Amino acid sequence: METVENLDLDRFMGQWHVLADISTPFDRDAFAPLETYRRVDDKVVETIYSYREGTASGPVRERHLKGFVSEESSAIWAMQIFWPIKAEYRVVFVDPEYQTTIVGRSKRDFVWVMSRTPDIDSPAFDALLARTKALGYDLSKLRFHAHPAALTPETTPVNAPEPVNPQ
Q: Is the pLDDT of residue 8 over 50?
A: yes
Domains of the chain by residue range: 9-144
**Over the range 19-29, which residues count as b (16 or more CB within 10 Å of their CB) and which as e?**
bbbbbeeebee
pTM: 0.86
Candidates 2.30.40.10, 2.40.128.20, 3.40.50.2000, 2.60.260.40; correct CATH number of 9-144? 2.40.128.20
Q: What is the pLDDT of residues 35-63, one digit of tens each?
A: 999 999 989 999 999 999 988 889 999 99
What whole-number percentage of the chain has pLDDT above 70?
87
Q: Cβ(79)–Cβ(66) under 8 Å? A: yes
Helix, coil or strand: residue 11: helix
> Average of pLDDT values for 63-82?
94
